[in-house]
């Protein structure tokens, strides 16, 4: 009966069935093969074909665990968020795309789309996740305005004069990605992100080491030195970089400092994204969520650890006895306060 069922359905039909099943979110080969009532090997073959057709990709491939997602799955990292959250966020984004086209007569850039959506969510106090990611605050979905998702994924309309608010926000936004980012950072007082922008500008210019040092120190003062391993890495990076940037050959270390910073920023913002989105995942999908998180964070953490360790070992070779601080009485006194009672420590 089993063989007959598959013989009755052609390969194309089965692949359509797999794609429709994946509309619900990423899932394992086992669940897919249960759904289409086929064995692992056959299912795997169909998935390979779909992969070659550019329709699916492996989210995780580790030992026997293989998780697949549709390539047009709009959620960042293919995270299995609650269906209602996805449906409402998608509705919002599609509505913004539609209204922007109507008003501006051009397509909306991806960055602008996200920034408008975030503003609307805040203004209308919508119960939808807003997450800190690489370039600022975003929604849980990453959709390409050029790719029409309407009719593929379910949407749930949002009430409460949402279109009025969207139109209002459209008036305040531009097509310029950098301007959109900076405006958002200033509006929501995102000091860490503003600091990053300044730092990146200085890395580009390469000629003012003191500014780079300053922004690194300011950035380090924006995050606490707690037990989180990501922040501990950032802390080590800051210390090593400051010592290197004050050494004799500071310009030679600039590129390594910059590369290390990019890597850490990626890790920091990916980490904060996953922390933020966790509450939008159903209990029964938490295992899958944790697998996806672990997969992404582990690899980034390993890379950052290596880069920071390299930087640290170079900074350890700096002859610190030759470095001197400005003879500045106020900060000396402040340090004196921190050193009070050290003999009793």
Partner 1 sequence: MRWFLDMCFIVYYASETNNPLEDKVRILVKNKKENYLVCLYILNKNLPDWIKRNKEIIFEAKKIVESGEKNPNLDQGNSILSKKQNVQLKKLLNQYSISNNKKDFFINIKKRLIYLEGKINFFIEKYIDEKVIPIEQINKELRSSLLTYLDNNISDANTIASGIQENKNKEAILVTADKQHWTKDNLEWALPEHSSLRKEYPNLPEIRYIQDS
Residues in contact with partner 1 by the rule CB under 8 A? 213-214, 217-218, 220-221, 224-225, 235, 238-239, 242-243, 315-316, 318, 320-321, 323, 325, 328, 330-345
Residue with tokens 């989180």: 228
Phi and psi (nearest 5°) for 136? 120, -160
Q: How far is the CB of 222 from partner 1 (least distance, A)?
A: 9
Give min distance, CB of 246 to partner 1, in A.
Answer: 8
CB of residue 304 to partner 1, shortest distance in Å: 19
The token pair at 46 is 């169909």
Q: Which of 273, 274, 258, 264 is nearest to 300 (CA)?
A: 264
Nearer to partner 1, 1 or 342 (CB): 342
| Residue 74: CB atoms within 10 Å | 21
Give the residue among 122, 27, 127 at the shortest CA–CA distance from 67: 27
Choose between 118 and 242: whose C-beta lies nearer to partner 1.
242
Q: Indicate the residue among 231 and 295 with the shorter CB distance to partner 1.
A: 231
Residue 113 or 242 having the CB closest to partner 1: 242
Give the burial string for 289-314 (b: 16+ CB within 10 Å, else e): bebbbebbbeebbeebeebbeebbeb
In the complex, the smallest distance separating the C-beta of residue 104 from partner 1, rounded to whole angstroms, is: 38
Closest contact distance (angstroms) between CB of 339 and partner 1 is 6
For partner 1, the closer of residues 294 and 316 by Cβ is 316
Cα maximum dimension of the chain: 87
């Amino acid at each position: 009966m089993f063989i007959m069922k598959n013989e009755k359905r052609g390969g194309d039909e089965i692949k359509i069935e797999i794609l429709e099943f994946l509309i619900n979110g990423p899932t394992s080969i086992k669940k897919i093969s249960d759904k289409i009532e086929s064995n692992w090997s056959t299912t795997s073959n169909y998935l390979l074909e779909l992969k070659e057709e550019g329709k699916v990709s492996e989210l995780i491939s580790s030992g026997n665990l293989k998780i697949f997602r549709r390539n047009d799955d709009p959620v960042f990292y293919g995270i299995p968020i609650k269906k209602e959250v996805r449906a409402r966020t998608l509705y919002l984004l599609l509505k913004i795309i539609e209204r922007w086209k109507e008003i501006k007569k051009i397509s909306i850039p991806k960055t602008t789309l996200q920034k408008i959506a975030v503003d609307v969510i805040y203004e209308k106090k919508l119960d939808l996740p807003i997450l800190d990611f690489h370039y600022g605050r975003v929604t849980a979905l990453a959709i390409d305005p050029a790719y029409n998702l309407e009719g593929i994924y379910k949407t749930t309309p949002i009430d409460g004069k949402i279109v009025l608010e969207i139109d209002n926000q459209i008036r305040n936004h531009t097509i310029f990605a950098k301007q959109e980012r900076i405006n958002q950072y200033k509006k929501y007082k995102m000091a860490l992100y503003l600091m990053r922008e300044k730092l990146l500008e200085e890395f580009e210019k390469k000629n003012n080491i003191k500014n780079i040092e300053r922004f690194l120190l300011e950035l380090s003062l924006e995050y606490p030195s707690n037990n989180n391993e990501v922040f501990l890495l950032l802390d080590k990076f800051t210390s090593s970089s400051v010592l290197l940037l004050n050494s004799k050959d500071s310009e030679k270390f600039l590129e390594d400092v910059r590369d290390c910073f990019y890597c850490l920023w990626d890790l920091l913002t990916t980490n904060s994204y996953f922390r933020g989105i966790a509450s939008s995942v159903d209990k029964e999908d938490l295992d899958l969520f944790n697998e996806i998180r672990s997969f992404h964070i582990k690899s980034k953490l390993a890379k950052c650890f290596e880069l920071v360790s390299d930087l640290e070992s170079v900074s350890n070779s700096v002859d610190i006895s030759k470095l001197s601080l400005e003879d500045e009485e106020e900060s000396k006194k402040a340090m004196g306060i921190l050193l009070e009672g050290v003999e009793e420590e």
